[in-house]
Amino acid sequence: MLKVKGLKVSAGEKDILKGIDLEIKSGEVHCIMGPNGAGKSTLVNSLMGHPSYDISSGEVNLNGINLLELEPFERSLEGVFLAFQYPREISGVTLFNFLLAAYNEHMCHKDKDFRRMKAFKFRKFIKPFLIELKVPEDFLQRYLNHGFSGGEKKKIEILQLKLFNPKIALLDETDSGLDVDALKVVSQGINDFKSKENAILIVTHYQRILDYVKPDFVHVIKDGKIVKSGDYKFAQELEQKGFEWITE
C-alpha cells in the first residue's frame, strides 16, 4: 500500500524530517506518536503534498504510484486523505457544495461511467452519514468549518473520510479537542471506515483514541526520525512513561 523511504523534508531553512522509513500495508492501522514539534504534522502534510514543505530526498509510493510527482488534488483522487490537525475555514463555499463537488470528483475518477450525483439526490444520500456522526443537517448550508467548534470540525473531517473512501487515511490529531462522546462518535466513524482494502495512519499525542481504534504498529518520532516502533502495548507504555526515555 504506502511505502515511504528515506524521506527528508525541510521548510524554509529548517530541516524537519531527517530520513523517514515507513511501510503501511492494506488492512493495517499505524500510529505515530511523539513530542510537540517532532515532525508528525510535517510527515502527513508532506505525504499529501502541502506546498510549504520541500522534499529534499526520499520516495513515497502508493500501490506503485509515485506520489511525489502528483499535485495534492491528484493524490486525493488516487486515494490519499488527510484529516487536518487544524481544518481551515473557507468562506463562500458551503459544506454541502464542497462535499457534493468533492464526492462527484472522487466517484468520477474511480468509475468513468459514474453519473454525477445531483444536489437533491446527494442530500438524501448523505443523511445517514450525518445522523451517524451526529452532525446537524443545517450545518450543510454553513460555509465550510465557519464558526464550527474544534470538535465539530473534526467530525466534518471524518464525514469526508467516509464519503470519499480513500485507500490511505492520514488522521492528524483527529482526537484532540474532543469530549468523550465526540471521541466515541469519531472513533466509531474510523472503525466503520477501516477495512482490509485500506489503511490508516493516526497521529496522536494521547493513547486514549487507541482504546477505540486499535493500532497494529506504533511509531515514535523524535526530532524528525522514527526512533522506536512497537505494537499496541508500546502505546500504553508511552502513556505511562512519556517520550523522554526513548533514544535511538
Ligand X SMILES: Nc1ncnc2c1ncn2[C@@H]1O[C@H](COP(=O)(O)OP(=O)(O)O)[C@@H](O)[C@H]1O
Instruction: Write out the residues near Mg ion by the rule CB under 5 A.
Output: 40-41, 85
219 closest CA partner among 204, 198, 199:
204
Neighbours of 160 (CB within 10 A): 23
Distance from chain centroid for Cα 82: 4
Our CB check for Mg ion shows the closer of 40 and 228 to be 40
Q: What is the DSSP letter of 70?
A: S
14 binds ligand X (CB under 6 A): yes
- Residue 38 near which of Mg ion, ligand X, none (CB within 5-8 Å, type-dependent): ligand X
- Residue 36 near which of Mg ion, ligand X, none (CB within 5-8 Å, type-dependent): ligand X
124 binds ligand X (CB under 6 A): no
CA distance 133 to 154: 10
- Residue 11 near which of Mg ion, ligand X, none (CB within 5-8 Å, type-dependent): ligand X
For residue 90, which phi and psi values (nearest 5 degrees)?
-125, 110
As given in the structure block, the three cell numbers for residue 210 are 487507541
227 binds ligand X (CB under 6 A): no
11 binds ligand X (CB under 6 A): yes
Measured at the alpha carbon of residue 48, what is the angle toward residues 239 and 42, in degrees to the nearest 5?
A: 45
Exactly one of 36, 91, 240, 247 binds ligand X (CB under 6 A); that residue is: 36
Footprint of ligand X on 42-71 (CB under 6 A): 42, 52
- Residue 82 near which of ligand X, Mg ion, none (CB within 5-8 Å, type-dependent): none
Positive or negative, the Cα torsion across 95, 96, 100, 103? positive
Residues near ligand X (CB under 6 A) are 11-12, 14, 16, 34, 36-42, 52
